[in-house]
Amino acid sequence: MGERIQISASVPAEMDGDRLDQVAARLFPDYSRSRLQAWIKKGELLADGKQLRTREKVVEGMELSIDTEPEEVVGWQAQDIALDVIYEDEHIIVINKPAGLVVHPAAGHADGTLVNALLAHAPQMAQLPRGGIVHRLDMETSGIMVAAKSLLAHGDLVAQLQERTVRREYCAVCIGVMTGGGTVNEPMGRHPKQRKKMAVLAVGGKPAITHYRVEKRFGHHTSIAVNLETGRTHQIRVHMAHRHYPLVGDPTYGGRPRIPKGASTELVEVLRGFPRQALHARALGLFHPETGEEVHFECPLPEDMEQLLAVLEREDPVIASDDPLY
């Protein structure tokens, strides 16, 4: 079965008094709740070295630890799917994910995912939680991702993500002209009525922090660089829509394409035909799990976003502030 899974985390103040199984699910998000509950019952997930029941309360500062044998992934098939590998060694693999590729098998996407491709590329990753995946990109978001190839790397990368030391930069194209950059610090969670969507929540949301800066203003659009402190599902898309600057090509949070008045035929075609949210993960920085060395990786913009920006440059020039936008 390979190396044992040996990881731990301390209970933060905001989880003081919560149930053990609920806290474990939040501190160890790469494992299913049912698996965590099984480990609790078997005494493989301990609190301060003691076995508790799943419903018992934990307190701030308690050390939750897992020490168990890894379980081989069942039902995930290795598939020969091309990978754009940016960097690889025995512990990590950094890839440039194309838009349209699902990261992880789930309902509606049982195969043909990044995990299936990784299992063909490096079969030992089948021994790791979630096939080595430690963070995700939406299916239609392109760009750079890191995955673990060893248990050492998996535990270390998960800890780095929890401690917010992984640096992620994205390029996005938004609808509307921004006056400047800023920070969105708004908690997020599942939309209360539309369960497939995420939303900013005044009550019950998890912390979500997005920093952005303007890179290029157009007549009716803005290209921005985005840095994440947290990694909530759809975070950039939700936060920018919350600021009334939804992403081009994002009907889920931005509605139908917005066509500027007097737009050229080319601009109309590009805005109506852009096939996905205009979002690309272009840079990733982290500490190498084995050496501790700070490493940085980048990948170029894909062709569709290059074309979008080129058309905006030509066909959506900056206009006077008193001209109508739409």
The length of the chain in residues reads 326
Give every CB contact of residue 99 below 8 A, 6+ residues apart in sequence.
139, 140, 141, 142, 275, 276, 302, 304
Alpha-carbon distances, residue 38 vs 1, 9, 11, 97 (angstroms): 18, 18, 20, 34
Backbone angles phi, psi at 303, to 5 degrees: -60, -40
Per the residue annotation, which of 30, 138, 156, 304 is the catalytic one?
Answer: 138
Cβ proximity of 51 and 65 under 8 Å = no
Spatial CA neighbour of 9 closest among 314, 25, 171, 19: 25
16 tagged catalytic: no
Tokens of 159: 């800890």
State the Cα–Cα distance between residues 181 and 97, nearest whole angstrom: 27
Helix intervals (H) in the chain: 20-27, 33-42, 114-121, 151-163, 235-242, 251-254, 265-273, 303-315
Cβ proximity of 43 and 101 under 8 Å = no
β-bridge mates for residue 7, sequence order: 66
Q: Is 102 left (phi over 0), alpha (psi -120 to 50) or beta?
A: beta
State the Cα–Cα distance between residues 283 and 300, nearest whole angstrom: 9
Tokens of 296: 């940085």
State the Cα–Cα distance between residues 252 and 238, nearest whole angstrom: 9
What is 182-235 written as a DSSP string? EEEE--EEE-SS-TTSEEE-SSSPBP-EEEEEEEEE-SSEEEEEEEESS--TTH
Positions marked active-site:
138
